[in-house]
């Protein structure tokens, strides 16, 4: 039997509440899957869908939790707004990837 020694070190929650759903949550999730694979971090990041995160007027909202980089994310959570399939990679590269401390 083989064991996977890698474990998830971050959670990314994409809001799929009704407002975010209408603004393209599904596309954001699909794009996130592609990005996590491209950056070779799909084994480290748990990508989830979430119910309304409380920022319905700010476009599709994504919440990042459980990062190993506590200095850059002292509150333990980070909210990203107005995420869409076209800007998701830029936002990931700038805001999220550095939090992985790789
Ligand atoms: S529906 Fe996404 S923040 Fe409310």
Q: What is the pLDDT along the chain (102 residues), one digit of tens a residue?
A: 445 556 788 999 999 999 999 999 999 999 999 999 999 999 999 999 999 999 999 999 999 998 777 777 778 899 999 999 999 999 999 999 999 988
What is the model's pLDDT at position 74?
77
Domain boundaries, the chain: 10-96
What is the model's pLDDT at position 5?
54
Site to substitute for ligand 1 among 15, 58, 62, 80, most atoms within 8 A of C-beta? 15
Q: How many Å lie between the centroid of ligand 1 and the Cα of residue 49? A: 11
At the second CATH level, the architecture of 10-96 is: 3-Layer(aba) Sandwich (3.40)
49 lines ligand 1 (CB under 6 A): no
pTM of the complete model: 0.91
What is the model's pLDDT at position 1?
45
3-state secondary structure 43-72: CCEEEEEECCCCCHHHCCCEEEECCCCCCC
Q: How far apart are CA 56 and CA 40, in angstroms?
A: 31
17 lines ligand 1 (CB under 6 A): yes
What is the model's pLDDT at position 50?
98
Nearest partner of 62 among 46, 75, 45, 49, judged by Cα:
49
Burial 14-30 (b: 16+ CB within 10 A, else e): bbbbebbeebbbebbbe
């Amino acid at each position: 039997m083989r064991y996977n020694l890698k474990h998830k070190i971050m959670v990314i929650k994409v809001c799929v509440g009704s407002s975010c759903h209408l603004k393209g949550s599904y596309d954001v999730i699909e794009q996130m899957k592609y990005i996590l694979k491209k950056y070779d971090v799909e084994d480290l990041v748990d990508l989830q869908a979430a119910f309304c995160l409380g920022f319905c007027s700010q476009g599709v909202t994504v919440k990042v939790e459980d990062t190993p980089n506590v200095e850059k994310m002292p509150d333990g959570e980070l909210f990203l707004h107005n995420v869409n399939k076209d800007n998701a990679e830029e936002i990931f590269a700038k805001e999220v990837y550095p939090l992985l401390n790789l």
